[in-house]
Structure 1
Amino acid sequence: MKLYLQNVVENFNLNNLPADWLGVDFEVFSNSKKLYEYQQKALEHALKTLFLYFEEDKADKTNFFTRYQKNGLTEDLSYNLKKESKSLKYLLDYDIEFPIQDDKISFKYFINRMSFWMATGSGKTLVIVKLLELLGYLIQNQKIPKKDILFLTYRDDLIEQFKEHVGEFNQTNSLRINLINLKEYSSRKQNPMLPFGNSLDVYYYRSDLISDEQKDKIVSYKNYENYGNWYIILDEAHKGDPEDSKRQVFYSILSRNGFMFNFSATFTDDRDFATCVYNFNLARFIEDGYGKHIYISQENIKALENKNDVLLEKEKQKILLKILLLQTAINKQYKSIKEKHPDKKLYHKPLLLTLVNSVNTNDSDLEMFFKEIEKIASGNWDDALLNDAKKELQRELDKPDAKFEFEGVHLDKRILNVLEGIQFNDILESVFNSKTIGTIEVLKIPSNKQELIFKLKTSSQPFALMKIGDITEWIKNKLTGYEIIEKFDNESIFKNINHSEDINILMGSRSFYEGWDSNRPNLILFINIGKGTDARKFVLQSIGRGVRIEPIPNKRKRAQFLYNNKELDSQLYTSIKDTIEPLETLFVFGTKADNLEEIIKTMKQEKPEVLLGDLFEINPDVKDKLLLIPTYKYSDKIIVEEQNVVKYPIHSDDYNNVKEYFNYLGDKTCLAKYDCNLKVLQRLKDGFNGKANDYFLISKEEKIINNPDFILRQIFRHFENKLKEFSDFKKLEEEIIHFKRIHISAEKLNALREKIEKVKKGKYKDAIINELKEKLDKKEIDIDEYTSQIENITTNLVKEAETTYSSNEKLKIKLLNNHYYLPVMLTESERAEFIQHIIRHKSEVDFIKELENHLQQENNFFKQFDWWYFSKIDETLDEVYIPYYNPKENKIANFNPDFIFWLKPKKIEKYLIVFIDPKATTYADANYKIDGYKKIFEENNKVKVFPCKIIVKLFMWGKNNTGAEYANYWTNSFDNFANKINSHLQLE
C-alpha cells in the first residue's frame, strides 16, 4: 500500500506556509533534550497536513480526499457494512457525517486523520508532546479551530511515561500542558479553571477502556462524544484485545469533526498506510543509522521446540552454545574497546534477550530454557559439542548470503577470527561471571513479584534476570530444591538493566517486550513464538527494543554516522572502527522454521521495496582522487554576539508595531513572558530605539504578519540561534550514500537489474572496442570474429538504457563517466513513487541534459582540468551541505545543493569545489542560501582561498530574480558558467 499523504506533503514546500504558521521550534524539547532530524521532520509533515486541510481546503473532506486521488489513490478504502466488522453499526447513528451509499461509507468521510509509522525506540512520545505544543499554538493563533484534545494509549505505565515527558516539557517551555483525566471532563467543562499564562488542557485515558458502556473504569464514548469535536492522539491504540476494531470506530466518531493522529510502530490496516504522513519505521530507523544492524539467523533451531525428546538434548545444548559463543565473541570486542580507551564510556556490555511463548505451564518454554542454561553452567554437557557449535556458527556467518536485513550489506567476517579463539572458560567468564562451573542459586527482591535473579554459587555476581507477570508460581512449582536468598535492597534490576552490567541474560515472556529501552541487547532468541498478526507485532516490537544504539553517551547513531557528522573524534573512530560491528548488530534467532519465516515476513512488511544499492558502484576512476567536502561546527556565540549580525527580516509596519509593543512591555515583562536571553534583550533595546539597521532588514517587500506577540517571540528565537562556521575540509567517505538506498517496488526489479548491469559495463565499451581493433590490426583475430564480438558488445554493453512501466513511470539509466557513482538513474516523472533517491525533478534532469550536450563540444569547459568529477546530492540522506539562516523556519538550516563538482585545473595549483543548485519553481529563499554561502566561503565579497589553495563556489542554475546584488551567483548555461569560473579564478 502506498503512503499517499506522505507523498502529498513531501511535494509541498514548508516555505510555502505563511510565517505565522511556523511559530513552533521543533528542535528544542527541554534543557536536556533536542529532537532528532527525523522527529522534527515528522512534525513538519504534520504541520503541512494541518495547513492543507484547515487553511487551504477549509476542513472540507471532499477537497482533501481529492488531493489523495490526484496523488494516485485508486484503491477502494471504503468501509463495507455487509462485509466488514459488525462494529460499523455504531456509525449508523451518525449518518449525516458518515452517509451510506450501496452499503458502503466512503473513506473520504474518515480522511481527517494522519498516521505516523515510527519505529519502537524512535522517541514517539517526544514527537507527541511537541505535537501538542503545535496544536496549542495553532489554536491560540486561530489557525485551526479550537477543539478539545484527547491523548489515548493502552497501558497505565505508558500514561505515566507520557506524564513524565510532559512534566519535563513544562519545566522549560513557556507553554504549560495541563493533563486531565478524561473522567473529569464534565466537571472541568462545567467549572472551567481560569487560564494561567500560556496553557493548554489535554485529556488522557487508556484507549482499551473506551467502550459503548459505562462501568467503573470503562467509559462510554457517548458520554464524551462532544459532537465529534476532538483532536485525538492515539499512541499504539490499536493494541489491547479483540475489541480493537470496535474502538477504532469510536475514535473516528469522537474525531469526526476534528482530527485524528495515530502513532504506531506496526500498522496492519491499509487506511493507516494511505494516511501515513511520515514513515520512519524500523527499516528507515536502521538505514539512517539510528539503530543496530539486524542479522536474522536462517538456521532452523527446531530442537528447542521439543521439550521431551531425549535424542535432541545435545542439539538443544549445541544451539545455546552457539548463541553463547556469539555473545562471548561480542563481549570480547567490547572488552577490547574498553582496554584501548579505559577513560571513555563507549558502547555497552552485550546482553542476550530470550522471549518465550509459555511461562507457567508444565514443561514451559521458559523452564526448558532455564534448565538448558543450568546444564551448560554446571558443565553437564559433551565437550565435543563446543567445537561442533563453533564450526556451525562460523559456517553460517561465512555464507555469501549472510547479510543484514534492510541494508543488503554483508557481515564483517572478522568476527569469525574472534570466534575461533573462544573456549568454554571464556563463556563461563563472559556470560556466567565465573571462572569455574557451578550450580545456580536464586535471589529474590523483597516485595518485587515480577523479577528473579540467578547466579552461580562459584561467583559473587549474578548473571541472569527473569521478568514475568508473577514469580509466585515459578518459585512454588519450578524452583523446588533451589536455594532462594532475599536481597537486602528492594531496587528493580530490570529498571536499571542498562547499568546492571553483571546481568548477561534477560529472559521472560511478552510482559516486557515494550515499555522499556536499553542499548544492551545484541542477541534475541524467540522460543515458540507463533504465527499471525499478534505474533508479527510482538516480533517487530521486541526487535525494535533491541536495536537501540549509543556508542558514546547521549549519541544514538552508529559510530560511522557520528564520525561523518563530526560528532565522534577521528582518531577515536579509527582506533575502534574494525571492532564495533558486532556491538552495532542485533543477532536474531528463532526456534522453528515457521518462526523464522514469520520474522522475515514481518521484516519485509516493514520494507516492501527492494534495495538496489548493490547494483551501483563508486566510479573506479575516483579511487586515487582526493574528493574533499567542507565540514562545520557551531559557533561559540549566539547570533546577536556575532561581528556581522544576521539581521531579522521584517515589514516596516510590523517593525513599528513590535517596537511599540516591546517598549510597552518593558524588560521585566519580556524576561518573564518570553524567557529570553539577557544579551538579546539588551541589544534589542538598541534595535528598537535608534539602531534598527544594525539588527533588522526593514522592507515593504516582506509579508505583513500583524501579530506583535508572535513576531517578538520569533525575534528572540532568531537572535538566540547559534550559527555554524567552517571547521575543515575532509576526504569524502560515507557522506554521499543515497545511491545505496535507492529502492524500488519488488515487482519492478527484474527488468531493471539487467539494464543497470549492462549500462555499468558500458564504461568499458570503448576500451574493449579499441582492444579488438588492435587485435584485428595485428591479425590476431579475423574480420568475422571482430564483427561477431562487436555485435555482442553493442548488444550487451550500452551507455544508456530506458525502462518504461507506464506513462508516468519511465526510468533512464545513464553512464556518466565523471559521476561519483555508476550508473546514474533519472525519471522525468517528478511524483514517481515507485522509486526513491534518484534524479527526478525536472530542473535536475534538464541540468544533466545540458551537461551532456556541453561535454559533446570539442573544446568544452571541462577539458582544461587534469581531472573533474561530480555527484548528485540527496537532501534527505547525504551529509554534504552549506549552513544558512532560514527566516521562514527561524533557524540555522542545511542547504543541500543538488550537485557538487570537484575540479583540478591543469595550469595552476588550485582545487575547486563547486556547488550547483538548479531551481525549477521558487527562488524565494535563494538569497538566504547565497548569504549562508558568502558568510562562510567569502571575505570582503571575495572568494576565500583556503590552505592548499582550495576554493569553494556556489551557483544557482536558472534565471536570476533575486536582484542585481546576487547576479554573480546565478548562471543558466555552461558557457556563462565557464566565463564566471575562468574570470573569477583566473584559470585562463
Structure 2
Amino acid sequence: MNIEKYLVLNKYFLRLFGEKDNRELLRYLKSVEEGERDGLTNFATYLINKRGVKLSEDDIKDIERYNKNIIERYDRNIQEYLREINKGRQEKIRLKYFQYLAVLFTEIFLDRLKNRKWEFLGELNKFVNSLEKKVRETVGEFSEEDLKKIAFWMATGSGKTLIMHINYLQFCKYKPFEPDNILLITPNEGLSKQHYEEMKKSGIPCRLYSENLRSGKGDYEVLIIEITKLVENTRGRGRSIHISAFEGKNLIFVDEGHKGKKSEEKKWAKLRDKLIEKGFAFEYSATFGQILDKEDILKEYAKAIIFDYSYKHFYLDGYGKDFWVLNIKNSKIDDFTEIAFCANLLDFYQQLLVYEEKRGIAREHNIEKPLWIFVGSTVSGKNIDSDIVKVLDLIRNSLNRDW
C-alpha cells in the first residue's frame, strides 16, 4: 500500500504551498542557505518570493500582500521560539529546512484551530473531496474530533525532540485552550530521563513522575511519565497512577506511543484517547509506517500526520546510512556474523580515531561522537534467544581473542 497518498492532512498543507508531495518542496528548501536577512529567515523569503503561497480564501482583497504578511508573522514567531530554547544553550540550535517546514505547518494549523476552526474544518473537507475516490472513501471527512491531534512521522535523528519543544512554545502562544495538565508520555524510564534533560536545556518547566504527585505544580509545567505507569482500573499498584488523576483539558505529548506488543498498543491507545477527550495531543514517531496497515488506524493517522519526514525522505536527503542486504545460507550464518562484527568493530574504531583527530571540524559542523548501534528484536523471556546476549558474546570473544 502506498501510505503517503492517504496522508490527507499533510497533503492539505503541501497544497497550500503549491505541491502535491513532500519531495519537491523538500528539494526546493534544501537548496536554500540557512540564515536570516532583513529580519526574516531565508526559508521564509524563498517561500514568499519563489514558491508562492495560498494561505487564505480567494475572496480576501490583495491576497498576495495578505499571504506575504502572514508568512512573515509566522516566521518571526518561529525565530522567537528558537531564541527561547537557545537561551541556556552554549551551542545554539538552527532549524534545518525540513524542521522549519514541520514547525511552519504546525504554526498554520494552530493559528487556524484557534482563530477560525470551523472555516478550517470546511477547507479540509473541501480538500478531501477533491481527492481520488479510493482515498476519500478510506479516510472520510474530518470532524471536530479529528482536530484534537497532530502527528509527526519523522526518522530517528531528524530532530523530533527539537520539534516537540517548539510545539510546546507554539501551543503556549496560541492557547487553543487552557490546559489543566500537560503530560509527556514516553515508552520507558530511560527515555523519560533523556527528555527531562533535553527539556531543561530548552528552558521548558518539567519534572519526572514520582509516586506521590506533589501539589503546587508550576504554570505550564510538563509532567514526564511512562505509558506503562498509566492505568484505567484500580488494580494498578506501586508506581502506577489512575488516569482520573488527569481530569479536565489535557495537553499531551506522546513519544513513540505505539511501541510494544499488539495487545499493549491497543490498551495504550485507549488510554491516550481518554486523556485527550477534552484536550489536544502531539505525537512523534519514526515508525508510524509499521502500524498503518489496518484501515481504522490508517484513517486516524491519515488525518493526524501533519508532516512526513519518514526514513525514505531522510535517506534520500543524504542523512541515512548506506546499507546492503546480504542473504547468507543458514549453515554459514555463525561464521559470517563474526566476520561482519569484526569489520564493524574496525570501522567504528576508525571513525573514533578520525573524530578525535578532527574535533575542531566536528564541532564546526555539529557532528557528535560516533555511536555504534545494534538493532535487535528480542531482549529476554522464556525460551527466547536474546539478541542482546548474542552481541555481548561477540564483544566478549573479541576482547578475549589473541589478536
**Category of TM-score, reference length = shorter chain:** 0.5 to 0.7
* Aligned residues of 2:125 and 2:142 also touching (Cα < 8 A): no
* Aligned residues of 2:196 and 2:224 also touching (Cα < 8 A): no
Q: Is 1:36 matched with 2:95?
A: yes
SS state at 1:279 partner: strand
SS state at 1:355 partner: coil
* Aligned residues of 1:179 and 1:202 also touching (Cα < 8 A): yes
Q: Aligned ranges for residues 354-369 of structure 1 at < 5 Å?
A: 355=376, 357=378, 364=385, 369=390
Equivalent residue, structure 2, for 1:219:
241
Count of paired positions: 322
Q: Deviations over 1:120-150 (max 9, x none)?
A: 22221221122112211223xxxx3322332
- 1:169 positional shift: 1.2
Query: 1: CA distance between counterparts of 2:189 and 2:310?
Result: 24
Q: Which has the larger radius of gyration?
A: 1
SS state at 2:273 partner: helix
SS state at 1:261 partner: strand
Q: Is 1:323 matched with 2:340?
A: yes
Residue identity matched to 1:138: Y
Gap change, CA 1:146 and 1:67, over 3 Å in 2: farther
SS state at 1:135 partner: helix
Query: 2: CA distance between counterparts of 1:356 and 1:328?
Result: 21
Pick the aligned partner of 1:110 from 112, 122, 146: 146
Residue identity matched to 2:146: F
Q: Is 1:146 matched with 2:146?
A: no
Query: 2: CA distance between counterparts of 1:365 and 1:136?
Result: 44
User: So what's the TM-score if we normalise by structure 2?
Assistant: 0.65
Residue identity matched to 1:224: F
Say which is worse superposed, 114-123 or 360-369, in terms of deviation: 360-369
Cα root mean square deviation, aligned? 4.1
* Aligned residues of 2:200 and 2:206 also touching (Cα < 8 A): no
Equivalent residue, structure 2, for 1:210:
230
Query: 2: CA distance between counterparts of 1:363 and 1:277?
Result: 39
Pick the aligned partner of 1:133 from 166, 169, 179: 169
Q: Aligned ranges for residues 699-778 of structure 1 at < 5 Å?
A: none
Q: Deviations over 1:662-704 (max 9, x none)?
A: xxxxxxxxxxxxxxxxxxxxxxxxxxxxxxxxxxxxxxxxxxx
- Report which structure shows greater RCO (CA 8 Å, sep ≥6): 2
Question: Which structure shows the higher strand fraction?
Answer: 1
Q: Deviations over 1:772-801 (max 9, x none)?
A: xxxxxxxxxxxxxxxxxxxxxxxxxxxxxx
Equivalent residue, structure 2, for 1:23:
77
* Aligned residues of 2:179 and 2:279 also touching (Cα < 8 A): yes
Query: 2: CA distance between counterparts of 1:363 and 1:155?
Result: 21
Gap change, CA 1:372 and 1:333, over 3 Å in 2: closer
- 1:284 positional shift: 1.2
Q: Is 1:120 matched with 2:156?
A: yes
Q: Deviations over 1:455-483 (max 9, x none)?
A: 22647xxxxxxxxxxxxxxxxxxxxxxxx
Equivalent residue, structure 2, for 1:296:
325
Q: Deviations over 1:617-646 (max 9, x none)?
A: xxxxxxxxxxxxxxxxxxxxxxxxxxxxxx
- 1:263 positional shift: 0.8
Residue identity matched to 1:177: P
- 1:367 positional shift: 9.6
Q: Aligned ranges for residues 805-954 of structure 1 at < 5 Å?
A: none
- 1:24 positional shift: 4.0
Equivalent residue, structure 2, for 1:239:
259
Q: What is the percent sequence identity of the aligned residues?
A: 17
Q: Aligned ranges for residues 132-281 of structure 1 at < 5 Å?
A: 132-139=168-175, 144-148=176-180, 149-170=182-203, 176-179=204-207, 181=209, 188=215, 200-214=220-234, 215-216=236-237, 217-226=239-248, 229-241=249-261, 242-267=263-288, 268=291, 269-270=297-298, 271-281=300-310
Query: 1: CA distance between counterparts of 2:280 and 2:191?
Result: 22
- 1:235 positional shift: 1.0
SS state at 1:293 partner: coil
Q: Deviations over 1:781-822 (max 9, x none)?
A: xxxxxxxxxxxxxxxxxxxxxxxxxxxxxxxxxxxxxxxxxx
SS state at 1:203 partner: strand
Gap change, CA 1:48 and 1:361, over 3 Å in 2: same
Structure 1: gaps (5+ residues): 79-104, 171-175, 194-198, 304-311, 374-431, 433-439, 442-453, 460-988
Q: Deviations over 1:32-70 (max 9, x none)?
A: 241432223211111111122221225x89536525524
Structure 2: gaps (5+ residues): 17-52, 56-67, 292-296
Gap change, CA 1:295 and 1:262, over 3 Å in 2: same
* Aligned residues of 2:254 and 2:283 also touching (Cα < 8 A): yes
SS state at 2:233 partner: coil
User: So what's the TM-score if we normalise by structure 1?
Assistant: 0.29
Q: Is 1:47 matched with 2:107?
A: yes
- 1:294 positional shift: 2.9
Query: 2: CA distance between counterparts of 1:350 and 1:231?
Result: 34
Equivalent residue, structure 1, for 2:128:
69
SS state at 2:282 partner: strand
Gap change, CA 1:62 and 1:127, over 3 Å in 2: closer
SS state at 1:294 partner: coil
Gap change, CA 1:359 and 1:283, over 3 Å in 2: same
Query: 2: CA distance between counterparts of 1:48 and 1:225?
Result: 29
SS state at 1:455 partner: helix
Q: Is 1:456 matched with 2:394?
A: no
Residue identity matched to 1:272: Y
Residue identity matched to 1:239: K
* Aligned residues of 1:234 and 1:261 also touching (Cα < 8 A): yes
Q: Aligned ranges for residues 658-677 of structure 1 at < 5 Å?
A: none
Question: Which structure shows the higher helix fraction?
Answer: 2
Query: 2: CA distance between counterparts of 1:361 and 1:245?
Result: 24
Query: 1: CA distance between counterparts of 2:312 and 2:114?
Result: 32
SS state at 1:36 partner: coil
- 1:252 positional shift: 2.5
- 1:356 positional shift: 6.3
